């Protein structure tokens, strides 16, 4: 299926990110002991870095960051950190969980660049469970759940949605078929298949079956 056909069949929706306010405190003491003391207070050590700026060691409330972390598309959520009288726009970079309790133990953020920001954006496939190919016995194969783009800071996407309800068996979507914000650049191989619909046996099984049928009968 060509890109033009996909554009006609599937409507891509780019959901822009709105900043969530999160209170933070500067960390004056660093190290294992200081971090342990923070956690006892219900706080989590965190770091902000990137954009050519000096890294900031901060702490955020564990309950607050956990609330946001458990929501969908956390990695593309824009935050405005309030540190005293200053405010910083940041994106989540990484998060560490306690290996036993799964409680958040450390958070990394990155400062927004001045003009263009590299980010990972979740791809949401709408109606994948009821699309044409699945109704006819196929299987929706999700290959990629995130794409990486270089995006204008004023147009940071929260997610990219694509309605796949009309996809038949044997069709596929490529990275280049997604609509991204104006002025953005896709940092993926544009021809990389991000999703497809295959028959119940799957392409590999069908290929094996065809190969077996092609073998001459043994005497």
Task: Report pLDDT digits (tens) over 97-152.
Answer: 988 888 899 999 999 999 999 999 999 999 999 999 999 999 999 999 999 999 99
* Pairing label, strands 193-198, 172-174: antiparallel
CA distance 67 to 12: 28
Average pLDDT over the chain, rounded to an integer: 86
CA distance 133 to 165: 8
CB distance 90 to 111 below 8 Å: yes
Share of the chain above pLDDT 70, in %: 84
Q: Is the pLDDT of residue 88 over 70?
A: yes
The pLDDT of residue 13 is 62
CB distance 19 to 79 below 8 Å: yes
Q: What is the band of 74 on the pLDDT scale with cuts at 50, 70, 90?
A: very high
What global pTM score does this model have? 0.77
CA distance 82 to 22: 6
Which superfamily is assigned to 3-15+117-210 in CATH? Ribosomal protein L25, C-terminal domain (2.170.120.20)
CB distance 32 to 16 below 8 Å: no
Task: Report pLDDT digits (tens) over 158-199.
Answer: 999 999 999 999 999 999 999 999 999 999 999 999 999 999
Contacts of residues 97-105 at CB distance under 8 Å and 24 or more positions apart, as own/partner, are 103/62, 103/66, 104/44, 104/62, 104/65, 104/66, 104/69, 105/39, 105/44, 105/45
The ranges of the chain annotated as CATH 2.170.120.20 are: 3-15+117-210
Question: Looking at the domain 17-113, which fold is it?
Answer: Ribosomal Protein L25; Chain P (2.40.240)
**What would the two tokens of residue 93 be?**
């970079």
The pLDDT of residue 126 is 96
Burial of 186 (0-12, 13-18, 19+ CB in 10 A): middle
């Amino acid at each position: 299926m060509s890109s033009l056909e996909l554009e006609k069949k599937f409507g891509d929706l780019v959901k822009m990110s709105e900043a969530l306010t999160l209170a933070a405190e500067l960390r004056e003491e660093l190290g294992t002991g200081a971090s342990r003391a923070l956690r006892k207070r219900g706080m989590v050590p965190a770091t902000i870095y990137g954009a050519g700026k000096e890294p900031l060691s901060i702490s955020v409330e564990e309950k607050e960051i956990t609330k946001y972390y458990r929501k969908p598309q956390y990695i593309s959520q824009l935050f405005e950190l309030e540190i005293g009288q200053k405010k910083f726009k940041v994106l989540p970079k990484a998060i560490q969980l306690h290996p036993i309790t799964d409680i958040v133990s450390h958070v990394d953020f990155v400062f927004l660049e001045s003009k263009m920001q590299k980010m990972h954006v979740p791809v949401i496939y709408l109606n994948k469970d009821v699309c044409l190919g699945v109704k006819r016995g196929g299987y929706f194969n999700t290959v990629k759940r995130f794409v990486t783009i270089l995006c204008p800071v004023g147009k940071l996407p929260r997610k990219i949605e694509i309605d796949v309800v009309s996809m038949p068996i044997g069709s596929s979507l490529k990275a280049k078929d997604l609509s991204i914000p104006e002025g953005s650049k896709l940092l993926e191989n544009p021809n990389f298949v991000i999703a497809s619909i295959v028959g119940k046996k799957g392409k590999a099984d069908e290929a094996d079956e065809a190969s077996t049928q092609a073998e001459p009968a043994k005497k």
